[in-house]
Amino acid sequence: MSGISYSTKKYAVLLLATICIVSFSFSLYYRIRPTVDAKAYDFIAWNLARGYGYVEDARNSAMPAADDAIVRVGPGYEFFLAGIYSVFGHHIWMVWFLQALLRVGGAYVLFRVVLLILRDHKGREPIALLATALFGFIPDLIILNGMLLAETLFITSFLCALYASLRALEAKKISFAASAWWGIASLVRPTALVFTFCYAGYVYITKKSVREVMVILLFPAVFLGAWSLRNSLLYKTPLFTTTAGAYALWVGNNPDAMGGFDKTPEIQEIRDRHHSVELSKIAMKKYVAFLREEPVRFAALQIKKTMMYFSALRPSGFWFYLANKPVERLLTLISSSLAAAFLFVIGGAGMYWYVVQRGRYRWFLVSAALLQPLTVIPLYVETRYRAPFFPFLAFFAAYALYAFWLSYKEKKPDSLLIRAFFFSGILISIFTLGDGLYSYAIITERIHLLFSELLL
């Protein structure tokens, strides 16, 4: 932490230690057992660690092409879990602990990112601390850290890639480290490849260096190419990473889609009758047919999903681990909803303010931030899929809050900044209201469930 004051170093260490303690303590308190996707990741990882190969069912070790592990997003998180199980045994508490350390690592990298991009800003240290605190104590991220889900690993590897990329831009040199981190992030979530192209495009526009662009794309191409080749040969059909993409497109885009992961009876029936490779081909045909035959309905569905993504009515709180814990569910819903609303409103205003103030790397950062929802909304929207957007919102929110505090300290309130807060709040309110109207039945059903539990 060279180049910053002693007090900032002290506060940063205390902050990071607190983030670790809170994250790990939450995991130990609830001891959330793996279900659905987390259960599948756990099975695949344990089978890998025991030498059965990349299969969800160990009985398919001799014929992996018959297994459905290929439908799961990966393989980065599965190999991460397998590494832990290989060294420490099948102990989920060790995963919780290491994920808490990953959260600390991600928070520290975000701290360094803020210091780097605000190199000449007089408020760089308090903004960096505030952004780290906002990121570290977001309820949704603490909850996800207690589950066997890929979000914690993805966010940390993504932030490492972002930091290495910005360091390379600062040093005006080619960075193999940035390429490696983009490759790792892409193995965890293939959507990271979109951000890799965003960075490569920014480098090409600013430097006109084809050689540097090729280095940036090197590791993502090698990592994803090797995994895609393995799967294509194994399943005897061209596959890009897994079959999850086409399936997600169909689930989120069909005449009966509600915007989330809601499998219709038709989808469930085909899912039961076909292997995931066959299912992905059917899914892509169904998706293209829906797009071609009902473009207006398709467009309306994208608007609905956009409202869901930015809605304050989509908090965490209906996870299975809170069943029969109505008070804790209510507290989780309130804290998650308030945190999301705060980040969307203040972070949105801060994003605008950062551009207006001509902040360093503003177009690259804003593009990378906005690509987070743009890579999710075309598929389907779940609350946890908003998590990778939060580090950006934490930075922009901290930037806006510091500017707001400074303006009032100097008794020179900036009307433009105040209007940014106002219009950002109006926009998020519109999205929330629209989501409430679109999803009235689902929301009222969940409210009824909550009050039923509270009154028992």
Written in H, E and C, the secondary structure of 270-286 is HHHHCCHHHHHHHHHHH
Given this model, what pLDDT does residue 442 score?
82
Given this model, what pLDDT does residue 146 score?
94
Please provide the DSSP assignment of 72-140 as one string: SS-SHHHHHHHHHHHHH-S-HHHHHHHHHHHHHHHHHHHHHHHHHHTTT-TTHHHHHHHHHHHHHT-HH
Among the listed residues 348, 380, 379, 339, the one whose alpha carbon sits nearest the alpha carbon of residue 366: 348
Token code pair at residue 96? 């919780």
Return d(Cα 213, Cα 243) in angstroms, integer.
Answer: 28
Given this model, what pLDDT does residue 284 score?
92
Given this model, what pLDDT does residue 1 score?
63
Among the listed residues 144, 60, 53, 50, the one whose alpha carbon sits nearest the alpha carbon of residue 96: 144
Given this model, what pLDDT does residue 449 score?
80
Given this model, what pLDDT does residue 2 score?
59
Cβ–Cβ under 8 Å, residues 183 and 220: yes
Full pLDDT tens readout for the chain, 456 residues: 657 888 999 999 999 999 999 999 999 999 999 988 899 999 999 999 999 999 999 998 888 888 888 888 889 999 999 999 999 999 999 999 999 999 999 999 999 999 999 998 889 999 999 999 999 999 999 999 999 999 999 999 999 999 999 999 888 887 899 999 999 999 999 989 999 999 999 888 888 888 889 999 999 999 999 999 999 998 888 888 888 888 899 999 999 888 888 888 888 888 888 888 888 899 999 999 999 999 999 999 999 999 999 999 899 888 888 888 889 999 999 999 999 999 999 999 999 999 999 999 999 999 999 999 999 999 999 999 999 999 999 999 999 999 999 888 777 777 888 999 999 999 999 999 999 998 888 888 888 888 888 876
Q: Whole-model pTM?
A: 0.94
Token code pair at residue 72? 């799961």
Among the listed residues 305, 301, 308, the one whose alpha carbon sits nearest the alpha carbon of residue 432: 308
Please provide the DSSP assignment of 231-288 as one string: HHHHHTS--SS-SHHHHHHHHHSSTT--SSS---HHHHHHHHHS-HHHHHHHHHHHHH
Given this model, what pLDDT does residue 371 score?
92
Peptide bond just before 34 cis, omega within 30 deg: no
3-state DSSP percent of the chain in helix, strand and coil, to 5: 75, 0, 25
Please provide the DSSP assignment of 150-201 as one string: SHHHHHHHHHHHHHHHHHHHHHTS--HHHHHHHHHHHHH-TTHHHHHHHHHH
Helix (H) or strand (E) holding 448: helix 440-455
Total number of residues shown for the chain? 456
Among the listed residues 143, 157, 150, 188, the one whose alpha carbon sits nearest the alpha carbon of residue 315: 143
Given this model, what pLDDT does residue 64 score?
82
Token code pair at residue 293? 């035959």
Given this model, what pLDDT does residue 265 score?
86
DSSP 32: P
Token code pair at residue 260? 């989330």
Find tokens 């490492």 and name the residue: 160
Given this model, what pLDDT does residue 196 score?
93
Return d(Cα 275, Cα 384) in angstroms, integer.
Answer: 27
Token code pair at residue 48? 């890998």
Alpha helices, DSSP H, located in 310-409: 326-356, 362-376, 390-409
Return d(Cα 8, Cα 446) in angstroms, integer.
Answer: 43
Cβ–Cβ under 8 Å, residues 188 and 76: yes
